[in-house]
Amino acid sequence: FFFQAEDGIRDTSVTGVQTCALPILAQVLTQAAAKSLGLAGRKSLEIVSGEKGSLAVTLRLVEIPVPQPGEKLRGPHFHNGFEECIYVMSGEGCMEADSGKYPVKAGDTLLVPPGEKHVTRNTGNETLVLLCFFPVAEIAKRTQDVAAK
């Protein structure tokens, strides 16, 4: 929990958690202002992250179109030290992971443990739309792509 000090800066003395000094202000973060990540075979927008002022959350909106012949697709990757939670907003797909293959559809949620290699593919006839949640404000430095074999 964070408490607002008289000067409007976060006071962490109650929790003992050290954070950067940011004013406590709610904010609306729009899809239009999201950072485009340019990942192969998908549109990935980072809506919330440390760059946007978050202390402990990253949220991405990912759209994976129906794959076209010869199209370069994103390869498997894994996250060092944190989980990924993926909510399927629309479409159908399959997450391929170390532990197996998991077909998904709108309304399903995937929970990927730290360190498990995974990739989500579109297996349907329409764009697969995902909301991806991470319990850290910065994921890029602790996410690794798996080298192609």
pLDDT digits (tens, 9 = 90+) for 117-126: 999 999 999 9
Q: How far is CA 112 from CA 31, 88, 95, 102, 109, in A?
A: 24, 14, 10, 11, 10
CB 104 within 8 A of CB 88: yes
**Can you give the pTM of this predicted structure?**
0.81
Residue pLDDT, tens place only, 72-110: 888 899 999 999 999 999 999 999 999 999 999 999 999
pLDDT above 90 as % of the chain: 71
Which pLDDT score, from 0 to 100, does residue 10 have?
Answer: 46
**4 DSSP β-pair partners:** 10
